[in-house]
Structure 1
Amino acid sequence: MSSHIKTLLSLPLILTAGLGSAANAQNPKSTFTIVRSTQWGAQNYNPFVPGDQHLLPTNSAIYESLFFVNSINGKVTPVLGTKYTWSKDNKTLTVSTRPNVKWHDGKAFSAADAAFSFNYLKQYPALDTSGIWKSGLSSVKATNPTTLVFTFATPNTPIFQYIAATPMVPEHLWKDVKDPSTFTNTKPVGTGPFVADSYSQQALRVLKNPNYWIKGQPYVDALVWIATSTNDAAQLKLLSGEADFGYVGISDPKTYASKSPTASYWWPTNNINFLYFNTVKAPFNDVGFRRGVAAAIDTREVAQKAYAGAVAAASPAAVFPGQQKQWLTNAAKSTFDAAAADKALTAAGYKKDASGNRLGKDGKVLPSFKILVGAGWTDFITMAQVIGTNLKKVGINTSIDQQAWGSYSGGLQTGSYDMGISWGWGNGSTPYYTFNAAFNPDFSAPVGKTAASNLSRYTNPAITKALETFSATSDAAAQQQAMTTIVSTVMKEQPWVPLTDRVNFGLFNTSKFTGFPSAENPYNDSSPDDTNGARLLYLNVKPK
């Protein structure tokens, strides 16, 4: 995708074109506008297909889950579930579901719909992207209209986070869908605070659900998403007041906030940005090469230049700050040392020629390696530039490969990349979620096939066993010991380089609305605009 800013039609024109008469008649008085640096695809509101295939309001405004788990503090907010309890042996999870909730078509929601939704993922395993049914779950049943019972063959307490976030769909409509992987669901029926309205390549609109189960909410009549081609263009929309919220990874949020009295941000740390190595591809399949490359990268410089000091370099242990006190037995220090990296690469069999170019073990100059990033993502592009400069000093040449979301995520998941910058594709209230998503064999796949989240395609029996130990217990000491094994093994094997802490990039313009999340009121974790945490933002913002 080119980096120039595409000219958008004026918002009223976009929305008027293609709106039905009923939508026009509604004429919302308050519209909360979200800007997204992307070009979305076809009209698809299927909540079970991966996020790059369905439209942004799908899981944030239209469909709802049982609970929301806040990634920065672990707090659980009830949604369609009201409470949950684990049995003493951790093999049974019982969830109470909310009574008096209606689907958008007026039919009643019940625990039977929830049971259907989970069993649907069992029936169609390709939709089970969180691996719920690969994680010891043996059955899900509704024992009455407001009770849902999950039975496990083997205990797996961390799975709760994924159960909590699974979207609920109406059985009376979905039971007849024969091929859900291709079902575009253009007339979605959920329980959420908004209903689908209009769609175009530039703008999406959803309208307030007048029969929503929380009386008096949402406070706004409509949500509109508008598209830009770059993060910089999205920032301009926010500064001008054309947008009220954007999940935008700009380089310096402090400068953004200084440009307008109504510009503000909240960037809480809840993940890590990594340089992933494709460990099934030479020379990245060689731990000696990976360790040498890792030692050559100055992560402090990466963080400083990518985020102007607003975000710190990551711990080499890949545990983010809020979790280090509990889970790191020893403070992990950066291994950056260009001279040592140079020697390590030579010792691993990768010598230099007279011109300073790094050679492969076959004596030939190594090719220039591509660093995969999202097109227009200024923070990742900056990281790749710094990494390229660092690696050049040890004789390794790189280029930056900018790809639109579909080919970016597809490249990472199918293993068609050399190195790639992305976040941890699993995160939560303990480091388990990061490491399980990254290194569990269940989430890997052969090259060319889609790996759910093991982007490096790295597995290790010691890590696999420790992950199993962690998930089967609620004993803190046993979990600590398992985590120590995981961290030390990953640091030694270096399938990735933890680059910077990753924050949720909430940018706001407060000129028209109040009620945004903050460190003082962290009702969500500054969630991305297309996730179930964003639903809480859309429920809480109020017109001034």
Structure 2
Amino acid sequence: MTRTLTATALLAVALATSAHAQQPKTVFTVVRPTQWGAYNLNPFAPNDQHLLPTNSAIYESLFYIQGLNGKVTPVLGTKSAWSKDNKTLTVTTRSGVQWSDGQPFTAKDVAFTFNYLQKYPALDTTGLWKSGLTSVKTSGNTVTFSFNRANTPVFQYVAQQVIVPEHIWAAIKDPVTETNQKAVGTGPFVFDSYSQQALRVLKNPNYWMKGQPYVDAVVWYATNSNDAALLKLLKGEADYGYIGVSDPKGGYASKGPNYTYYWPVSGSNYLYFNTTKAPFSDPAFRRAIAQAINTDDVAQKAYAGVARAANPTGVIPAQQQAWLPANLRNASLKYNPQAADAALTAAGYKKNAQGVRLGKDGKPLPAFKILVGAGWTDFITMAQVISEDLKQVGLNTQIDQQAWSSYAGGLQGGTFDLGISWGWGGGPNPYYLYYQSFSPEFSAPVGKTASSNLAHYTDPAITKALAQFRGSNDPATQKKAIGTIAATVTRDMPWVPLTDRFEFSLYNTSRFTGFPTAQNPYTAGTADDTAGARLMYLNVKPK
């Protein structure tokens, strides 16, 4: 069964005289619970500044790396290999690919793109040229990336950098502000029309994957809320939406056989300790606090049973089997307030006659603030559960709701006591989470900005293990390094992993098949403006 746009839909997307006289027959519809910004198709711009199809439908990268399990899917690159010393990466580029204006794609476009990042450092948002990259050169259909030190995890950032045509971008002198409204890419779709209510891309007739995509167009519709977007899915007016709802099973999937969802666990929520200040600088104090918190209860009350308590290592379920030692794969934080109470006393934090916990100096500990985002009901609920738990061991807390700027500033500047946030790092294996969370280069002194090490915690064993991982391409060596880091983190507890975090893909499957699912996870369930979504737009088929 195909889907034909209604007259109302056509009015929404036909914002100007289209160059395409014939309207598409098979249209895949995406509903968006937010508005989008200006007419900008610059693939170098941050995701919140360019339009949704830019890096999901129009432009492509060398490879797609599935964020849950690390599976690599070739795109504009067909294969890659590291040299024996892991300082040279060679990528073979795909032949027979055309840009959407008919010009041939070559390895020179790849080299141009990466050298363009060096010429305009503001575009190098993953810091490739600060990560040891020294040159990018071509020979025939291969591209050679040379580094001054071994750093194998950088492959993810090389692989997923979108590639632009040299014959277009060489003439653009201010790529930071360029809006690129006549985008030329290699992707499965070309841009067609724009308004604040609807966006449309049309099938690229010269796309290099013969027979794909299976749809003639993808249309995005904007709504003003999650509820409005959800209603469009329930009414059959949309096929897909990246929408967070409180109960995807009971509030959506239970309403009919065509209402399905794919919510893979892609991260965790954490209670961060500010390890720059006492008593949170004391690992014994942190371990006792972790033992006093019922993370099962936190997950149940914050997410109505949809989320589970997180693994104490912070490693997501999809990566535990491959990367964690056997004793940590199914580990959980043992909630035991009696043991936590005793541990605090044994560590020098006694109680007075009134049951108030004292510091090592014998003075009552203050009421500690738990920093959360203002109005973030899930984090506020987590903080409420934690506050009640900590009362049982003689510790008083206050929930400190802050607007984003002061919330993020407090976490990054090291001026908080306790704070709840997601992990500010992640990737296709645990290295990326641990590197961004605990590497010294992502920390900073109090008052300065730590980019992602929110606990402001470092440990020599972790720093050494991160370096061992970077310097090797051997799976056994890398797994051993991850095991060292996981064991150190669970011993020192610079954070308390609280609950799982999800991606939020909802489908109405009445018209299309071929969606990514838990049974066929060819993407990580990421949002409609990501490279993962490109694979979905390629693979959905009309029923």
Q: Shorter-chain-normalised TM-score: which range?
A: 0.7 to 0.9
Which one-letter code corresponds to 1:419 in the other structure?
G
Query: Which residue of 2 is the match for residue 265 of structure 1?
Result: 261
Distance in 2 (CA, whole Å) between partners of 1:360 and 1:222 is 66
- Check conservation: 2:423, 2:437, Cα contact below 8 A: no
Query: Which residue of 1 is the match for residue 533 of structure 2?
Result: 534
Alignment CA distance shift 1:395-1:384 (3 Å)? closer
- Check conservation: 2:370, 2:383, Cα contact below 8 A: no
Query: Which residue of 1 is the match for residue 3 of structure 2?
Result: none
Query: Which residue of 1 is the match for residue 114 of structure 2?
Result: 118
SS of the equivalent of 1:207 reads strand
Distance in 1 (CA, whole Å) between partners of 2:110 and 2:122 is 19
Query: Which residue of 2 is the match for residue 43 of structure 1?
Result: 39
Larger radius of gyration: 2
**Counterpart selection for 1:192 from 164, 168, 187:** 187
Distance in 2 (CA, whole Å) between partners of 1:38 and 1:358 is 48
SS of the equivalent of 1:21 reads coil
Q: CA deviation at 1:415?
A: 6.9
Q: CA deviation at 1:401?
A: 4.7
- Check conservation: 1:345, 1:351, Cα contact below 8 A: no
In structure 2, runs of 5+ residues without a counterpart are 1-5
Alignment CA distance shift 1:396-1:203 (3 Å)? farther
Query: Which residue of 2 is the match for residue 515 of structure 1?
Result: 514
**Counterpart selection for 1:299 from 292, 295, 307:** 295
- Check conservation: 2:13, 2:194, Cα contact below 8 A: no
Matched, 1:163 2:164: no
SS of the equivalent of 2:531 reads coil
- How many pairs were matched up? 529
Query: Which residue of 1 is the match for residue 430 of structure 2?
Result: 431
Q: CA deviation at 1:348?
A: 6.8
Q: CA deviation at 1:411?
A: 7.7
Q: CA deviation at 1:229?
A: 4.7
Distance in 2 (CA, whole Å) between partners of 1:387 and 1:11 is 53
Matched, 1:254 2:249: yes
Distance in 2 (CA, whole Å) between partners of 1:13 and 1:408 is 41
Q: CA deviation at 1:444?
A: 4.7
Question: More deviation in 435-444 or 411-420?
Answer: 411-420
Distance in 1 (CA, whole Å) between partners of 2:413 and 2:271 is 16
Distance in 2 (CA, whole Å) between partners of 1:161 and 1:17 is 36
Pairs within 5 Å for 1:64-83: 64-83=60-79
Query: Which residue of 1 is the match for residue 84 of structure 2?
Result: 88
Cα shift readout 1:149-176 (whole Å, capped 9, x = no counterpart)? 1122222222222211111112223234
Query: Which residue of 1 is the match for residue 371 of structure 2?
Result: 370
Matched, 1:108 2:114: no
Which one-letter code corresponds to 2:265 in the other structure?
T
SS of the equivalent of 2:397 reads coil
Pairs within 5 Å for 1:152-231: 152-231=147-226
Query: Which residue of 2 is the match for residue 498 of structure 1?
Result: 497
Q: CA deviation at 1:18?
A: 7.2
SS of the equivalent of 1:533 reads helix
Distance in 2 (CA, whole Å) between partners of 1:275 and 1:308 is 19
Q: TM-score, normalised by structure 2?
A: 0.84
Distance in 2 (CA, whole Å) between partners of 1:23 and 1:448 is 55
Distance in 2 (CA, whole Å) between partners of 1:20 and 1:271 is 42
Matched-pair identity in %: 58
- Check conservation: 1:139, 1:151, Cα contact below 8 A: yes
Query: Which residue of 2 is the match for residue 398 of structure 1?
Result: 399
Alignment CA distance shift 1:398-1:518 (3 Å)? same
SS of the equivalent of 1:322 reads helix
Which one-letter code corresponds to 1:63 in the other structure?
Y
Q: CA deviation at 1:257?
A: 0.9
SS of the equivalent of 1:336 reads coil
Q: TM-score, normalised by structure 1?
A: 0.84
Cα shift readout 1:242-300 (whole Å, capped 9, x = no counterpart)? 22112233333221211122101223334333344555678766656654543343221
Distance in 2 (CA, whole Å) between partners of 1:115 and 1:64 is 15
Alignment CA distance shift 1:452-1:214 (3 Å)? farther
Distance in 1 (CA, whole Å) between partners of 2:241 and 2:352 is 46
**Counterpart selection for 1:245 from 237, 240, 248:** 240
Superposition CA RMSD, Å: 3.6
Alignment CA distance shift 1:384-1:521 (3 Å)? same
SS of the equivalent of 1:264 reads strand
Pairs within 5 Å for 1:447-486: 453-486=452-485
Cα shift readout 1:83-107 (whole Å, capped 9, x = no counterpart)? 2222233222211111222223332
Q: CA deviation at 1:187?
A: 3.4
In structure 1, runs of 5+ residues without a counterpart are 1-9
Q: CA deviation at 1:396?
A: 0.8
Which one-letter code corresponds to 1:502 in the other structure?
R
- Check conservation: 2:263, 2:505, Cα contact below 8 A: yes
SS of the equivalent of 1:188 reads coil
Alignment CA distance shift 1:162-1:445 (3 Å)? farther
Alignment CA distance shift 1:282-1:199 (3 Å)? farther
Q: CA deviation at 1:427?
A: 1.7
